[in-house]
Amino acid sequence: MENVSSLLIISLMAVLAPLAARGIGRVARVPVVVFELVLGILVGPAVLGWVSEGEILDALSEFGLAMLFFVAGTEIEARSLRGRTGRRAWIGWFISITVGIALGMVFVPGEPAIIVGVALASTALGTLLPILRDAGEMKTPFGEAVGALGTVGEFGPLIAISIFLGGREPGTATVVLLVFALIAGLAVWWAMRVPQGRLHTFVNATLHTSGQFAVRTVLLILVALVALSIALDIDMLLGAFTAGVVWRLMMREATEHDRHAVESKIEGLAFGFLVPIFFIYTGITFDLQALLDDPVLLAIVPAVVVALLVVRGVPSMLAAPKGSSPRDRIAITLLGATGLPIIVAVTGIGVDEGLISSGVASVLVGAGMLSVLLFPLIAMSLRGDSVKRPVGALIEDEHA
């Protein structure tokens, strides 16, 4: 009964979050995820104590996080990772992870420094995509640059987590990762090379029936690659992200109507059900008391927000489209420094393995929350009503 009542309260918070975002939207455009986090903290043990941690909620939250990364995988634009934009996005990330680990070594030497470095070098692609979509920026050079930064800022940390935080020696972990890459590569090859006409026909035939073949296939691919990740003892989010890429490739030749219909159903399942549970539950499990009990930890949170801006944000400017205005470059810096899902994942690993305390995890997650609250809001305000030209207008420059 306790699980049912907790899920009822979370469902209520999930309904209130977009209403609050819409109400505040008349004054400032605040991402709905901010309200989900705040409402989670409000109903959690730190404030009202209406909802506490539980196995069922924990499982739903994990699946919500996996679904968030699956959707991020489906949004990948291969062209944004090629040419100038892709190269500079990767160069920027390598700078971020190097500086992040070096900074971590100063305060927490050893393996904990890797956790700090990964957290500081992450970008919340799944959080930024809805913001870019709502602002009509998905097909602009600006949006493509942010998408490339987000892709690299999620994929890179997942690789680092799998190699350095999987409980194996880096050499062995790399071999295991290569095994996963081989299997995932075969799945991608199949999705690209094998004709998918019959799949598309069956998807179309069941779009509006109880069969819902597309949604069931999505869940199969997602669970299969997540299960493979778990079996190989690498981060499950790598499997979820890869599943999204595979599904996108499988549907690339479907009719535009069918693609949009399936995307709508997947987004409904993700952002209408599973993803809000993840963000609200993140607020519920956030150890606010650890920060309140230690003024030093509380004071460090703003410093970590600045560190995110310097370590991840500044190198992100490398991927700015040619001819970007200073305002757009600052906006890209802020969006590149927006991180939360990877921070939650990597600090969770750190706490589970006894590498960092829950207080340190709360500092990093708290900084991630503030980055989600502040950075997109400021960035999109700076972006304002800039001219949104199609990607094709700068495509030659981007691939030069």
Q: Any idea what the CATH number is for the domain that residue 243 is in?
A: 1.20.1530.20
Lowest mean pLDDT among 22-26, 259-263, 275-279: 22-26
The arithmetic mean of pLDDT across residues 79-98, rounded, is 88
DSSP 391: G
What pLDDT score was predicted for residue 53? 87
The arithmetic mean of pLDDT across residues 320-335, rounded, is 93
Torsion of CA 143, 149, 150, 154, to 10 degrees: 170
The arithmetic mean of pLDDT across residues 261-277, rounded, is 92
What pLDDT score was predicted for residue 111? 84
Q: CB-based burial of residue 387 (10 Å sphere; 0-12 exposed, 13-18 middle, 19+ buried)?
A: exposed
Lowest mean pLDDT among 83-92, 106-115, 191-200: 191-200
Residue 184 has pLDDT above 50, yes or no: yes
What average pLDDT does the chain have? 87
Number of domains making up the chain: 1
Lowest mean pLDDT among 19-33, 114-128, 176-190, 329-343: 19-33
The arithmetic mean of pLDDT across residues 161-189, rounded, is 84
Nearest to 28 by CA among 393, 376, 320, 370: 376
The arithmetic mean of pLDDT across residues 79-107, rounded, is 89
Give the number of other Cβ atoms within 10 Å of residue 364's Cβ: 27
**Boundaries of domain holding 332:** 2-398
The radius of gyration of the chain's CA atoms, rounded to the nearest angstrom, is 20
333-375 per-position pLDDT tens digit: 999 999 988 998 899 888 888 889 888 999 999 999 899 889 9
At 6, list the tokens. Answer: 């907790």
Lowest mean pLDDT among 64-73, 79-88, 275-284: 79-88
CA atoms of 67 and 70, how far apart (whole Å): 5
What pLDDT score was predicted for residue 391? 42
What pLDDT score was predicted for residue 31? 77
Residue 395 has pLDDT above 70, yes or no: no
pTM of the model: 0.84
